A and B are shown apart, each in its own frame.
Chain A
Amino acid sequence: MGATEPLVRFKDVRKTYDGDTLVVKNLNLDIGDGEFLTMLGPSGSGKTTSLMMLAGFEVPTHGEILLAGASLKNTPPHKRDIGMVFQNYALFPHMTVAENVAFPLSVRGIGKSEREERAEKALDMVRLGGLGARRPAQLSGGQQQRVALARALVFEPRLVLMDEPLGALDKQLREHMQIEIKHLHDRLGITVVYVTHDQSEALTMSDRVAVFNDGIIQQLDSPRDLYESPNNSFVAQFIGENNILNGTVESLDEGFAGVRLDGGGHVRARAVNVGGVGARTSLSFRPEKVHIEGIGADHENYLPALVEETIYHGDHMRVRAKVDGNEDFTVKMRYRSGREEPKAGDDLFVAFAAEDCLALDPVAPTTTA
């Protein structure tokens, strides 16, 4: 990340398909050599379009993309030397696994024996040694995914793009593959640009995550910063679980704001993204940073809560309560011995530090309903 020369640079890139609406609005993004960068966002946010422009399958309407300092404008996809893993693997069905993996080498005119040796090595790397003679259709989803990885890595590209590569796998396999891809990245030192709409996947794997929405990068940060210090309500909502309470700023001092909630309560919150006194704001709370207590007096902030429901989750318990008019306020609580568990109908308090309550830009009321 600290490298002076980024490997990939998006410079004022815009893209429109119909000439009216911009799918990508003025994208500026530097990707460092060896970095694992994830483009995260809901569908239609412009992340896949950005990836396709980098791969060369879409042409930017405006601006340019530089790879190692050189413009990619007139470089067709096959000359970009960028490995790519597709959503549904795109393994060639009429070739064996080994032929699939050797394909990038054979189109580069590499001799048969070297080709076979390198393909075999690449298959060993993804722990599929010995399966080279099979057809892709004879492999499981996870194995096909590994073949696609081996094929994208075998010609040692500077950059590997992955377009929701784990989308078709079941949860357990997906989590396993996430770790495996991350280890491959660490071991080979390659640069990876990864597209996904799954926020936990983005947090698990990435050095940095670019959160896309509406054609704009909403926030570009490390997973930790993204989760703990979201810049705005969209990021707070999209990454991890989140509770929202709406209110109006009453006072501002040294980075903290006094907020009068719509339900009547008053809290002190970290002012991250608010206008002046009198502006509307949405407060964001992580369910695990809020405590549920019998009395809230010894905390910085506390609000009365009516327990609606409790749900057992094994290692923790979820309490859904009505707080300041929001009926879906969720609190995650660990089991502690010697403490009475809350039950539906209990009148309790939610308590939290001002540090853990972020005052962000107001969201439309419908999203909190």
Chain B
Amino acid sequence: MDDGLSLKVKLRRAERMRQWRAFGLIAPMLLFLVVIFVVPIADMLRRSVHDVDLSEVWPRTTQAIGAWTDRTQAPDEPIFAALAQDIRDSQANRTLATAARRLNYDFSGSRSLIFGTARALPEDAPSWKAAVLEANDTWASPEIWAAIDRASGPITAFFLLQALDLERDPMGNLRAAPEDESIYLDVLARTFGVSLSVTLLCLALGFPVAYLLATLPPSKANPLMILVLLPFWTSLLVRTAAWIVLLQDQGLVNGALQWMGIIEHPIRLIFNRAGVLIAMTHVLLPFMILPLYSVMKGIPPVYMRAARSLGAPPTVAFLRIYLPQTLPGIAAGTLLTFIIALGYYITPALIGGAADQMVSYFIAFYTSDTVNWGMASALGTVLLTATLILYTIYNRLIGADQVKLG
């Protein structure tokens, strides 16, 4: 018995050494993934609900707003006093713009309201409420106070709700955002729509190419393969610029069509949906072709022969024997293409019109143009969540074991 026990201990020790060594080998990779993948995504998720811009510059008001109970009307004197104090302090600290920007996300006109109030506010006043209302009577409306309440942090659903075209009324109930502000659901639907169209186009165009590549002898297949891979080796920006040259009204495509007499006037191929679909399909085609090719390469031609010898006409043999065996490749190719297409930014930004911009355009816009990190993160979070939900459904339908990436 003692012997058996020590053998077990020895085994565990030997295994442990091996496990540590294996872990040591993957550690750099793991670290890399954590630093550039897990941490940024976690930070994005955090920023989409984290909101301390206002509470950092207006600590008194955001603290006192909790005492505001009757939300049908403006709050009482103590809260107005806190606001006046905060406005004067932040005016001195030059942080007024921060507060103005944050409130402006929620309540348009906040900027002029706050700067105007700051300018008109007296040194001292018996009633701060009267003085503030004197400076600007917008402060009598519960809407601005509800906005301050929503921005008081540190956790907020404001950005996520906005990314879904929802908002809260002053009473805190959910309602649809006004028509002129609700664009994100449309953008999200458009993003998925464009990605789906591009995926289907890639499948329709890529399947025959992959089939040809897999069935040709290597001497002919290799040069073709290089043509397929060429887009991979060219800068995305160059390819997109090339499409602008090709697709514009006086471009090669229109020129050729006119020369052949197919059309009389140039058709609009750029700065609209057609251009986006053409350029994105071109860019993403290799992601469809390569998994399809690798799966088709592994299907011996003898299956088709067997099917024919058993009495199946060529189309039946293709549909019932060949096609089902390419499903893992189709699954991998469509998944890969669709997910990459979801995040596409440069191509739609350069080739699409205003109505063709996808979620990533707005994320970039909020990150670099307006520095509204909360909104950028919220859009990212919504996109990530929607993608995960779709992936789960896809997984249910096809099964992860069916996906073969190479």
A84 and B302 contacting across the interface, CB-CB below 8 Å: no
B310 and A151 contacting across the interface, CB-CB below 8 Å: yes
A78 and B308 contacting across the interface, CB-CB below 8 Å: yes
> Measured between C-beta atoms, what is the minimum distance from B241 to chain A in Å?
44
A107 and B312 contacting across the interface, CB-CB below 8 Å: yes
B311 and A78 contacting across the interface, CB-CB below 8 Å: yes
* B316: contacting residue among A80, A84, A92, A107, CB under 8 A: A107
> Measured between C-beta atoms, what is the minimum distance from A194 to chain B in Å?
15
* A78: contacting residue among B312, B320, B325, CB under 8 A: B312
* B309: contacting residue among A55, A87, A92, CB under 8 A: A55
Point out the residues of chain B lying under 8 angstroms from A279, CB to CB: none
Q: Given contacts A57-B305, A86-B305, are A93 and B325 in contact (CB under 8 A)? A: yes
A83 and B305 contacting across the interface, CB-CB below 8 Å: no
Q: Given contacts A57-B305, A88-B302, A90-B303, are A104 and B325 in contact (CB under 8 A)? A: no
> Measured between C-beta atoms, what is the minimum distance from B167 to chain A in Å?
51
Q: Given contacts A92-B321, A94-B324, A107-B316, are A77 and B302 in contact (CB under 8 A)? A: no
Point out the residues of chain B lying under 8 angstroms from A152, CB to CB: 309-310
> Measured between C-beta atoms, what is the minimum distance from B350 to chain A in Å?
43
- Tell whether A10 is near chain B: CB-to-CB under 8 Å: no
Q: Given contacts A78-B313, A107-B316, are A90 and B308 in contact (CB under 8 A)? A: no
- Tell whether B390 is near chain A: CB-to-CB under 8 Å: no
The distance in angstroms between the C-alpha atoms of A78 and B305, with both chains bound, is: 9
* B310: contacting residue among A56, A57, A83, A93, CB under 8 A: A83
Q: Given contacts A81-B311, A103-B312, are A86 and B306 in contact (CB under 8 A)? A: yes
CB nearest to A55 among chain B residues:
B309
Contact pattern, B 317-338, Cβ under 8 Å of A = 1, otherwise 0: 1001100110100000000000
Contact pattern, A 56-84, Cβ under 8 Å of B = 1, otherwise 0: 11000000000000000000111111111
B309 and A84 contacting across the interface, CB-CB below 8 Å: yes
The distance in angstroms between the C-alpha atoms of A83 and B306, with both chains bound, is: 9
> Measured between C-beta atoms, what is the minimum distance from B313 to chain A in Å?
5
Q: Given contacts A57-B305, A86-B302, A90-B305, are A103 and B310 in contact (CB under 8 A)? A: yes
- Tell whether A155 is near chain B: CB-to-CB under 8 Å: yes
B325 and A84 contacting across the interface, CB-CB below 8 Å: no
Point out the residues of chain B lying under 8 angstroms from A87, CB to CB: 302
Q: Given contacts A92-B321, A94-B324, are A104 and B310 in contact (CB under 8 A)? A: yes
- Tell whether A171 is near chain B: CB-to-CB under 8 Å: no
Point out the residues of chain B lying under 8 angstroms from A90, CB to CB: 300, 302-303, 305-306
B308 and A77 contacting across the interface, CB-CB below 8 Å: yes
The distance in angstroms between the C-alpha atoms of A83 and B219, with both chains bound, is: 34
CB nearest to A94 among chain B residues:
B324
The distance in angstroms between the C-alpha atoms of A151 and B324, with both chains bound, is: 19
- Tell whether A108 is near chain B: CB-to-CB under 8 Å: yes
> Measured between C-beta atoms, what is the minimum distance from B334 to chain A in Å?
18
- Tell whether B307 is near chain A: CB-to-CB under 8 Å: yes
Point out the residues of chain A lying under 8 angstroms from B307, CB to CB: 92, 103, 107
CB nearest to A155 among chain B residues:
B311
Contact pattern, A 141-158, Cβ under 8 Å of B = 1, otherwise 0: 000000000011001000
Point out the residues of chain A lying under 8 angstroms from B316, CB to CB: 107
Contact pattern, B 217-243, Cβ under 8 Å of A = 1, otherwise 0: 000000000000000000000000000
* A94: contacting residue among B302, B308, B325, CB under 8 A: B325
Q: Given contacts A92-B321, A93-B325, A94-B324, are A83 and B309 in contact (CB under 8 A)? A: yes
CB nearest to A105 among chain B residues:
B311
A107 and B306 contacting across the interface, CB-CB below 8 Å: no
CB nearest to A161 among chain B residues:
B309
The distance in angstroms between the C-alpha atoms of A94 and B319, with both chains bound, is: 13
The distance in angstroms between the C-alpha atoms of A108 and B324, with both chains bound, is: 20
Interface residues of A in 220-268 (CB under 8 A from B): none
A82 and B325 contacting across the interface, CB-CB below 8 Å: no
B306 and A84 contacting across the interface, CB-CB below 8 Å: yes
Point out the residues of chain A lying under 8 angstroms from B317, CB to CB: 78
The distance in angstroms between the C-alpha atoms of A94 and B316, with both chains bound, is: 15
Point out the residues of chain B lying under 8 angstroms from A77, CB to CB: 305, 308-309
The distance in angstroms between the C-alpha atoms of A108 and B325, with both chains bound, is: 22
B310 and A107 contacting across the interface, CB-CB below 8 Å: yes
Point out the residues of chain B lying under 8 angstroms from A161, CB to CB: 309
Point out the residues of chain A lying under 8 angstroms from B310, CB to CB: 78, 83-84, 103-104, 107, 151-152, 155
Point out the residues of chain B lying under 8 angstroms from A83, CB to CB: 309-310
A82 and B302 contacting across the interface, CB-CB below 8 Å: no
CB nearest to B312 among chain A residues:
A107
B311 and A107 contacting across the interface, CB-CB below 8 Å: yes
Q: Which 4 A-B pairs have the closest CB atoms?
A: A90-B306, A84-B309, A104-B310, A77-B308
Given contacts A76-B308, A155-B310, 10 further A-B contacts (CB under 8 A): A57-B305, A76-B313, A77-B309, A78-B308, A84-B305, A84-B309, A90-B300, A92-B306, A152-B310, A155-B311
12 pairs from A and B in contact (CB 8 Å cutoff): A55-B305, A57-B309, A77-B305, A77-B309, A78-B314, A86-B306, A90-B300, A92-B303, A92-B325, A103-B307, A107-B310, A155-B310
